[in-house]
Each structure stands twice: as structure tokens, then as C-alpha cells.
Amino acid sequence: MKSQQLRKLAPELDSLRLGSGWKIDELSKPQIIVESSYGHSHPGSAHLDKLVDEAGIGIKEKGGRAANYFVTDICDGEAQGHDGMNYSLVSRDIMAAMMEIHVKATPFDAGVFIASCDKSVPAHLMAIARLDMPAIFMPGGIMKAGPNLLTLEQIGTYSAQYERKEITEEQFMVYKRDACPDCGACSFMGTASTMQVMAEALGIALPGSALIPAHLPELKETARKAGEHALGLAKEELKPSDIMTVHAAIAGSSNSLLHLPAIAHELGIQLSPDLFDKIHRKIPYLLNIRPSGFWPGEYFWYAGGVPAIMEEIKEFLHLDVMTVTGKTLEENLKDLQLNGFYKNCHKYLPALGVKVGDIIKPLHTPIKAQGAIAILKGNLAPEGAVVKHSAISPRLMQVTLKARVFDCEENAIEAVLQKKIHPGEAVFIRYEGPKGSGMPEMFYTTEAIASDPELVETIALITDGRFSGATRGPAIGHVSPEASEGGPIALVENDDLIRIDIPARTLDIIGTDSIERSVEEIEKILSERRAHWIKPESQYKKGILDIYTHNSVSPMKGAYMEFFM
């Protein structure tokens, strides 16, 4: 094995291992790195030390020696509302790079990678793909809902209500107190939950392991199994490139369109945004989980989790693909039918008064006939833009709106909360793309709109930034090319007419000064505006955001840094 070969090249290695607490007989065993985002940064990572311990037990029981390494993550929720959010997306790339350093600098035969949340899961998957070593991903699970099924994404709504004096400070504090009752990913189908699902769908996590409620014993049991399984991967030399070669049915986060292309890039694969659109046109939306659906995220696993969704959309899947179990997807699904997996999941439903069909709809009676995501293109977004149309009112599926332009989110949210935005307007927030400010989320602005009954069905938010996985309402993001690169979004002016046609997948500037113009007139006007456009000076002169904003690629490609490639 690799670890034994490198022991011969680095004679100090044994001494340093022994000084770290290893025993003599452990030096000759398979050496397994256990990477995790454990830390006291937020509920999605604070409990991962327990899963690290369980994975280590599994490794030891199968004759290996575990070594625990940590790269903790920040929390998008804690970064909301201030410039900390600018550091969110770049943290994904830095975490992946740190894990690469850990593995490349020290000899290991396989790895167990453990994470729960928005940037840590894609970071671990990018590292797994980049390293291409025998590896298994262990999802960190999901938190349970609070009283009255309260979940964290609702806090944005209550915050907007408090700002508008619709609820008292005391009421608001009760909601904040109860929104996160334990550890795990936030209990809705946001980015964290979506990426746990993607890890299992990609075949790099054990079947049924995504989104196990963190308070259940099954989560620790699965972590131990993951540790045990790592030994088999090391011996068989089964690599991620043999495996990582479902999104529509779950109404997953639009941020996955940033993360999946970035993961694919590590494998030398280019994922086109048009492919995502094609898949979402074909696969129906089945999962009745927040924010697009009704139930909290923990209910997904009780209904059978990822395998149950796969059973419903089986006719669309490549069942012969290899997975981390060493078996095909079809073999894994058959095993789950026989080993009591579904019976074990479903045993929690009676106490909740919920049935499987309330959570996962059958393929022939879906929530919607198409998936949740659409890629829009047009003269406003030549490379594309992303919309989660499962969360949009039918009234906004085909609409013409008047532009209200803001060059930062702070000014936009103030205008929304102070009732300065009116029905029939398209709120633009620009210079918030990867090269602009690091591509922060626009969560508070979308929640302020979604919680306003007058605006939620009458306006849209359009940005070159991105949205939280918790976002609901009329939001179009990832507009590319971004404003900082001189994309058409930089040229939009107040009172331009914006045509949104989600069924036709188009996003266009069709008029100026509130008057519709011909295509030729619009082209001439935009050309004249472009001639006078001046690229803003970067706000970052040092540090990681200076590096990121100079080296990130388009959101349509994954917003990763080519600096590292």
C-alpha cells in the first residue's frame, strides 16, 4: 500500500507517528485519513467529532489505523447580513485545497470525508474528485424541526416581519430561540441538504446515508460502517473516478449548479448549464419538502430518503453505474428492498401523523410535471441565468417588468423594507458575482420580498449574485456574464423593460424608458451604453477575496478558481 511504500522513503515518518500516539504495530496497518469539517462554527459541524470517532472505530475493527484531520467551515447563516457572506463561496475552494494538502503531504491509503453543510460538502466532494484516492463520503445528517415544525429558513421571514413592525421583539426572540433545536444541516432542502443528496446520488456515499436525522442512532451506525468500508476501498483501490461519472425530483438548491460543475471539473468533465435545464424539463418534481414544499427536511429520510426518490424515477436513471459499495446502483436498490432499510425509516412516521405519500409523491402524480430549476438565456444573460421556478407564482412565469437598479444588496433591501419597490418592477442587484464581491447570497432581500404579500407575486429579483438554498419567491440569479465583467446586466438602467419567460427559458431587455423597442433598437442602445461603461475598481486589494475575484470563472462553469488548477 502507498503508506508502506512512503514509510521507506521518509524514515522520520514512523517516529513522528509514534510521537503522535500511534503504536508500533499500527505503523504497518492500512492508514486511513478521516477528514471532517468538525468545529464549533455552527450546528452542522459541531457534532461531527462523534461521527469521526465512529468512523475511527469502524476502521480499527477492520484492521486499519485512522488519522483525524479537520478543516472546519463557516456558516452561511452566520455570515448573512454583513460582508462575511462574501467569504462563503471562496471558502469551498480553500477547504478543498487544504484537504488536498493534507493528503498529498502525508501518506494515506484511503479516506473517509465527513461534512454536513453548504460549502463543506461540495468542498469535500471536490477534494475527493481532485485526489482520486479510494474514498467514501459520510453525510453529517440533518437537524430536527423545532416546535410547530419551525425551521431556520423561516427566520428570514420573521425578521422582515419584525422590521415592518408586524411582530414584537419578544415574538421574534421566541422564533430565534426555537429554530435550531439540535445539530445537523438545517431542516429544509437548501444547499446543505441538496449536496448531501448529491453525494449519495453520485455514488460516493453509502446508500441511504444522506440526511439521516442527527439525533437518531442510525447516523452514528452509518459513520461506523463508512469507516469499515474505507478499508475495503483501500484494498480494492476503487477510486472516485470509477464512480462519480437526481437533482430535479427533489426541488434542490440552485447553488448545486455552482457546486456540481466545480466537482465535475476536478474529474475533467464539463457540465453544461443546458444539461441541467434538459434534466429538469424531463424529471418531475416529487418531494414535498421546504422551502418549495410543506414538510421539514428531516421527514425526507423518514419517507425513505434518496433511495425512495430513486425508486420513483428509476426509469430515468443509469442503473448500471458503479458506486462506492462496489456494486451497481441497481444492486444497491435491490439490497435496500431486502435488508429492512425502508421499514426502519418508515417506523418514525406514525408518531408524526404523516404518510410516505405526503412527503414523496408518486411519479405519475407529481407536485409539478417538471423539475424545479430552469436556465434562462437572452440578451440580458447570454451565458445563462438560474431560476428556481418551483418557488415562483404562476403570475410571474411570463411577465414584463420595469427595472429598478441597485449596485449592492444593502440599498436594495432597504428599498424593499421601506416600501419603495412597487408591483410590476424588477429589482436588480449587480456587481455581486464572483469577480465583483465574491458572489454572496441575497437571502434577506428575497425573504423581504417573499414575506410581502403585495410584492411576492408582482415583482422579481434579478442578480449576478446567488441565493440561499432556503430562497423562495421570484428570484433569478447567476446572471452571466456578470456586471464586473461588463455583462449586459451592467448596462441595465432604471425603467428598462425586462421580459421574463420561464416556459420559453428567456430573459431579455425589450425596452427602455418604459417603452418597448425593436431588437435592433435594443442592440444599438446597449452598444452605446457599453461604450460608456467603466469597469469598477476592485474593492479588494489583499487577502483571499483579492485572489478569488481575480481568478474565479463564470457561475455557469462553477465559479471555481482556475488559480488552483
Pairing type for strands 475-480 and 497-501 reads: unpaired
| Distances from the Cα of 414 to the Cα of 77, 323, 424, 436, angstroms | 20, 48, 18, 21
Please return the burial class of 362, using the count of CB atoms within 10 Å of its CB with bins 0-12, 13-18 and 19+: exposed
What does the alpha-carbon distance between residue 451 and residue 491 come to, in Å, rounded to a whole number? Answer: 30
Candidate list 209, 468, 552, 554, residue with the active-site label: 468
Q: Which three cell numbers stand for residue 536?
A: 469598477
Contact 479, 463 (CB under 8 A): yes
Catalytic residue list contains 390: no
- Kindly state the helix (H) or strand (E) to which residue 507 belongs, with its residue range: strand 506-512
Is residue 77 helix, strand or coil? helix
Helix axes of 88-105 and 544-551: crossing angle, nearest 10 degrees: 100
| N-to-C CA span, the chain | 28
- Kindly state the helix (H) or strand (E) to which residue 444 belongs, with its residue range: helix 443-450
Cα-trace Rg, the chain: 24
| Distances from the Cα of 326 to the Cα of 263, 309, 335, angstroms | 21, 21, 13
What does the alpha-carbon distance between residue 203 and residue 322 come to, in Å, rounded to a whole number? Answer: 7
Which has the closest alpha carbon to 385: 469, 246, 489, 456? 489
| Residues comprising the chain, all counted | 565
Count of CB atoms within 10 A of residue 233's CB? 25
Please return the burial class of 379, using the count of CB atoms within 10 Å of its CB with bins 0-12, 13-18 and 19+: middle
Contact 189, 309 (CB under 8 A): no
What does the alpha-carbon distance between residue 149 and residue 153 come to, in Å, rounded to a whole number? Answer: 12
Q: Which residues of 464-493 are buried (b: 16+ CB within 10 A; e: fewer)?
A: bbbbbbbbbbbbbbbbbbbbbbebbbbbbe
Q: Which residues are catalytic?
A: 468
